[in-house]
Amino acid sequence: MVGAGISGVGAAYHLQANSPDRSYVVLEGRERLGGTWDLFRYPGIRSDSDMFTLGFSFRPWTASKAIADGPSILNYLEEAARDYGIDEHIRYSTRVTGASWSTEEALWTVTAERGGEAVTFTCAFLFLCTGYYNYARGHTPDFAGTADFKGRIVHPQFWTDDIDYKDKRVVVIGSGATAVTLVPELAKQASHVVMLQRSPTYIVSRPSQDRLANWMRGWMPSMTAYGLTRWKNVLLQQFFFRLARKNPEKTRERIVQMARDELGPDYDVATHFTPRYNPWDQRVCLVPDADLFAALREGKAEVVTDTIERFTETGLALGSGKTLETDLIVTATGLEIQLFSGMPISVDGKAFEPARAMTYKGMMFSDVPNFAISFGYTNASWTLKSDLTANYVTRLLNAMRKRRVRQVTPRLAAPVEEVPFLDFTSGYVQRAADRLPRQGTRKPWRLNQNYARDVMALKFGGIDQEMEFSNPEPANKAAA
């Protein structure tokens, strides 16, 4: 396995629990587990999904807050890794540099760097749990005049403890999940915070605590309360998502009205909180306990909807002709998608090009043997899909052992229409569209983006559909 974030820890648990005869190692490039929750250190870092669905299926979330802060989530992951003995299998500071598959040997050879030295691993199955974005670089547009600005410019992905914003004027560029998290937190100490957006995003508020879950935990076993709350939230998420796709105008009106209710009749909601696209064409942003709206009502923060003409010595010149004077600029302008953590992959000496491949059940690729990735949902919590993916991989491994075969390969039985891997108009998706794999219009090549359907397909469904089980001869035997 590659990656010791939330997907990697979950995958390791499922392998131990469901395929205890298999040995494994988790290669992690960083010095600590946690992935996103160890990397991101910006003020207010938190989940944008409830922890009953972002948490593992096998380990209950027991804290009172359902929308949790980053350190609490990292602690949850560390405790899980320690309690299940997963941490003993993690090799830290081991950066994977490539992987190559040999059909003759039915093995992957994985190359890595550790302490400046090259190391090599071989495995029968390669499972990548590396997430989907570049840890080394975030997305920042090529703004004119950045060198002129006399203050500090920082991308949230690289926030450090020495960044001082107390009693400072701050501009946060962006309107996505990171921006709406940062603004109310920065507003607690900054003299004033501006969220500068080119266009609005759908923003909904929900309580940070789940009262029903906390009530149930008072009189029933923790795991039972957790499981019931998990399914309650899954079904509610799916209901509202389907409602939004079926009746986008009504959903738009409802979300915009929620903003009006929070901000009052005199606030220009039409300009600042009414997007030009339909709900769930891009991910809907969540704010706990309406904290963003509270910061706006109290005058500690404001939203400016405009374009950036250029950076100046003292701030920003806007397309409207207005200027923003500021001491600190935070470019919450998005992530850079990077599959496989940027490592090259080859099959029998031929470079694997994801953009030319078709995804199988959202986790494997056409004609690539013994290989899977963990990729979560775009319309729900990431871990829901990564949990199911890990469980499905163990089903495959167990079937291989039972059938005494060494290789499993998704194969297209008939041509299928290709469609984009992600049906999202978000900038980070569109910027990477030509590098992403494709999905099909029929099973098992179609992404469901539906947890209930995936439970039936991945946990209880068959594993033979357009999957080739084979037993290539070892090279030494074939040559004899």
Return the CATH number at 321. 3.50.50.60
27 vs 341: CA distance, rounded Å: 12
Same domain, 189 and 268: yes
Q: Residues 214-238: pLDDT tens digits?
A: 999 989 999 999 999 999 999 999 9
133 vs 428: CA distance, rounded Å: 9
The answer to whether position 220 is within a domain reads no
| Final residue in a domain of this structure, among 302, 331, 360 | 331
Calculate the CA 376 to chain-centre distance: 6
| Final residue in a domain of this structure, among 331, 363, 396 | 331
Same domain, 307 and 292: yes
Same domain, 50 and 151: no
Same domain, 127 and 272: no
Low-confidence ranges of the chain (pLDDT < 70): 425, 474-480
Would you state the pLDDT for residue 474?
59
Domain that holds residue 356: 6-136+336-479
287 vs 162: CA distance, rounded Å: 26
Same domain, 282 and 197: yes
The answer to whether position 229 is within a domain reads no
Q: Residues 356-398: pLDDT tens digits?
A: 999 999 999 999 999 999 999 988 999 999 999 999 999 999 9
Same domain, 395 and 444: yes
Q: Please say whether the beta carbons of 66 and 213 come within 8 A.
A: yes
422 vs 467: CA distance, rounded Å: 23
194 vs 57: CA distance, rounded Å: 39
Would you state the pLDDT for residue 478?
43
| Final residue in a domain of this structure, among 290, 305, 331 | 331
The answer to whether position 223 is within a domain reads no
Q: Which two structure tokens, joined as six digits, stand for 472?
A: 């290539």
Q: Please say whether the beta carbons of 165 and 187 come within 8 A.
A: no
Quick one: which of 348, 288, 365 has its CA closest to 67? 288
Please state the domain count of the chain: 2
Same domain, 294 and 168: yes
The answer to whether position 126 is within a domain reads yes
Same domain, 371 and 288: no
What's the predicted TM-score (pTM) here? 0.94
Q: Which two structure tokens, joined as six digits, stand for 238?
A: 């799916």
The answer to whether position 232 is within a domain reads no
From residue 265, how far is each of 9, 258, 261, 269, 297 by CA, in Å?
A: 47, 12, 8, 9, 12
The answer to whether position 405 is within a domain reads yes
The answer to whether position 25 is within a domain reads yes
Same domain, 172 and 316: yes
Same domain, 12 and 103: yes
The answer to whether position 230 is within a domain reads no
Same domain, 98 and 198: no
Same domain, 157 and 290: yes
Would you state the pLDDT for residue 158?
95
CA atoms within 13 A on the CB side of 275: 24
